[in-house]
Amino acid sequence: MSDLDDLYQEIILDHDRSPRNYGRVENATHSAEGYNPLCGDRLFVTLRAGERIEEIRFEAQACSIAKASASLMTLHARERTIDDARKLAAAFEAMVRGSGDPAADLGELVALAGVRRFPSRIRCATLPWQAVLDALSRSPR
Ligand code: ZN
């Protein structure tokens, strides 16, 4: 394993152990559930957004990959415009499927790039982003 793999592994373990933005947003404008039957991951995303995503949280009963991905997602989606968040979701999905544009600024999200070597885990990593897209596609409450 390379040093980079070690670093990425460390980021995933850290977010699995201490997930950021865990819980539910009060007065959420959008929410969605995500379910990945391949692994049994379930998660619930709530967010409050106007022009931008002001706050975003998640709850999950999920594997470490899905939980770490959700935790990292909340950090990277926050304060983005809805359009921007959609673009980031697409860039992330492309990365884990191995068709990513390396120019996209994914920050710490690159820690999950390794799942492309494990096709059965790709859904675990993309589930939180799909839930966000699903939430944003619904009319605000
Ligand atoms: Zn999973």
> 94 alpha carbon to ligand 1 midpoint, in Å?
18
- C-alpha 115: how far from its chain's center? 13
> 98 alpha carbon to ligand 1 midpoint, in Å?
18
* Residues less than 5 Å from ion ligand 1, measured at CB: 39, 41, 63, 66, 124
- What pTM value is reported for the model? 0.94
Read off the DSSP letter of residue 38: T
Phi, psi (rounded to 5 degrees) for 34: -130, 140
Rounded to whole angstroms, the Cα distance separating 138 from 99 reads 28
> 51 alpha carbon to ligand 1 midpoint, in Å?
32
> 62 alpha carbon to ligand 1 midpoint, in Å?
6
Q: 75-120: per-residue pLDDT in tens?
A: 999 999 999 999 999 999 999 998 866 556 899 999 999 999 999 9
